[in-house]
């Protein structure tokens, strides 16, 4: 298991366009958590948001944003809303 430096943990909130049914959030969550450097992801259908905890030394918020559009048939679009870097309390 990869052990990340807590100072490298970041927290990104992304808007996810294209969420239409209850099956979408688990699919996106699973795909995000397979990206090297992602520690945890949560996706909410009602708010169309993804909250991602990641190791900023291994993956960037821009990569997360881009990779959301590659999930499934490409009907999703990620947009970075907020990024908080160096969060030790996640």
**pLDDT tens for each residue of 34-78:** 999 999 999 999 999 999 999 999 999 999 999 999 998 779 999
Q: What is the rounded CA–CA span in Å between residue 72 and residue 57? A: 26
**pTM, full prediction:** 0.85
Q: How many CB atoms lie within 10 A of CB 10?
A: 22
For domain 6-85, which architecture applies? Answer: 2-Layer Sandwich (3.30)
Strands 77-85 and 9-17: antiparallel
Question: How do the domains of the chain map onto residue ranges?
Answer: 6-85
Q: Are 54 and 9 in contact, with CB atoms under 8 Å apart? A: yes
Q: Can you list the alpha helix ranges (DSSP code H) found in the chain?
A: 24-33, 61-68
Residue ranges of E strands in the chain:
9-17, 38-44, 49-55, 77-85
């Amino acid at each position: 298991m990869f052990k990340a430096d807590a100072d490298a943990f970041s927290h990104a909130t992304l808007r996810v366009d294209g969420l239409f049914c209850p099956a979408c959030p688990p699919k996106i969550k699973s795909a995000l958590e397979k990206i090297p450097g992602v520690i945890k992801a949560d996706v909410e259908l009602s708010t169309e948001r993804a909250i991602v905890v990641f190791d900023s030394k291994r993956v960037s918020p821009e990569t997360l944003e881009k990779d959301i559009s590659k999930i499934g048939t490409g009907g999703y679009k990620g947009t970075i809303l907020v990024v908080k870097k160096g969060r030790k309390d996640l």
